[in-house]
Amino acid sequence: MLRGILIILLVFAFLFGLSVFLMVRAAPQSRTLVLTGHAGELPVVEIGGRSYVDVEALTRLANGSLSIRGNHRTRISSDRKLGGQLPGPR
């Protein structure tokens, strides 16, 4: 009788511990991106093991310009020497 109660308590303790572990692991982690020399920070979102930030918010934070050419080219520049243009992807 005592052995049966002990087994039940151990099973409940294991299930409780497992549920706490899974909740902690699945909780979203708050991460931010900080640009040196610029006031502010951006939230970082992780999807499928990759980190993402909002490109428009990044451009505003960097006091840069954003232009999209076609479906796959995005250019961001905050460097005045480049005249607002960066070389495109190759």
pLDDT digits (tens, 9 = 90+) for 5-16: 899 999 999 999
The candidate with the shortest Cα–Cα distance to 41, out of 60, 27, 23, is 60
pLDDT of 11: 92
Q: Tens digits of per-residue pLDDT, 61-88?
A: 888 877 777 776 666 666 654 444 444 4
Check: CB of residue 42 under 8 Å from CB of residue 31: no
- pLDDT at residue 70, as a whole number: 72
Q: Residues 35-59: pLDDT tens digits? A: 888 888 899 988 877 888 988 888 8
- pLDDT value of residue 76: 64
